[in-house]
Amino acid sequence: MPVVTATLALIIFASGTVAGSLGALLGLGGGVFLVPFLNLVIGFPFSVAAAISLTTVIATSSTVSAGRAGKQLINMKLGMLLEVATAAGSFLGGVTAQFVSQSVLQRLFGVVAVVVALIMLSRLRRRNVILDPAADPGILGGRYHEAESGCTVTYRVKRLPLAIAASFVAGNVSSLLGIGGGIIKVPVLNAWCGIPLRAAAATSAFMIGVTATAGATIYYGHGQLQPALAAAACLGVQLGSWGGMKFGAAASAKWLKILMAAVLFIVAAMMFTRGGR
């Protein structure tokens, strides 16, 4: 377990701030940047990096969802249904992670980073399928008011088994690798299950608190979570995601996505070369 010095705490606080603001700008958690930084640059064991990152996922989820609750953007019923699958996946992943070697986890992270980068590049132009506002959203569908366009958006949930399967995989990957897993759920919910992107992202952000708690509790019990470093990272990520959301509208999402996809390809290459040793 690393020794906590003021310099180390400051570096982790700063890296959390950068990861949190990138996450908010790109609409994903910062974990996919924080874990490789802590593991490859600072040199923490993979499980220590993943444990710290999971606590930041919980902090982000609670902060963001507290601000959004009551605005109908979060589809709570759908979220609570899919949580059954993400929490099961996360529990199994958290237990598995205690028996798997660091190099296997690094290679898995490399694969996920490539997939995330490809998804990001393929989704430069977003697509939504939205119903007539008078349509019946059903039990799991939703309806929310979109401030920018001034419209009421109504949608129904399609292909529920696919959403459940994606949630299970996302939960599993989340606690194995220390990321939120939204990057896996959100594109599936949006592209194939009929959920508008903003509702899918808000619902996913709501769910990942429960997902990451199932994983983080196991790491904490196993003594792999260093509370002081988790504190520095959580405070940094909260500052960063607040800043990212506040100033995010001005940034060009397209170029940012291309840049970050490039960063993820480099992360994947580093994970593969380190993981191969």
Give the interface with other proteins as residue ranges (CB under 8 A): 4-6, 9, 55, 58-59, 61-63, 65-66, 69-70, 72, 74, 76-77, 80-81, 83-84, 87-88, 90-91, 94-95, 98, 209-210, 212-218, 220-223, 225, 227-228, 230-232, 234-235, 238
Type of residue found at 40: L
Instruction: Pick the closer one to other proteins by CB: 37 or 91.
Output: 91
Instruction: Pick the closer one to other proteins by CB: 191 or 214.
Output: 214
CB of 19 to other proteins, least distance (A): 17
236, 31 contact by CB (below 8 A)? no
149, 20 contact by CB (below 8 A)? no
CB of 135 to other proteins, least distance (A): 22
How far apart are the C-alpha atoms of 63 and 61, rounded to whole Å?
A: 6
CB of 133 to other proteins, least distance (A): 20
Instruction: Pick the closer one to other proteins by CB: 181 or 209.
Output: 209
Instruction: Pick the closer one to other proteins by CB: 46 or 91.
Output: 91
Residue 74 main-chain phi, psi, to 5 deg = -80, 125
**DSSP-based three-state secondary structure for 179:** coil
CB of 80 to other proteins, least distance (A): 5
CA 116-80-16 angle, 5° bins: 45
CB of 205 to other proteins, least distance (A): 11
Closest CA to 216 of 47, 54, 1, 16: 54
Where are any strands of DSSP class E within 85-201?
Answer: 142-146, 151-155
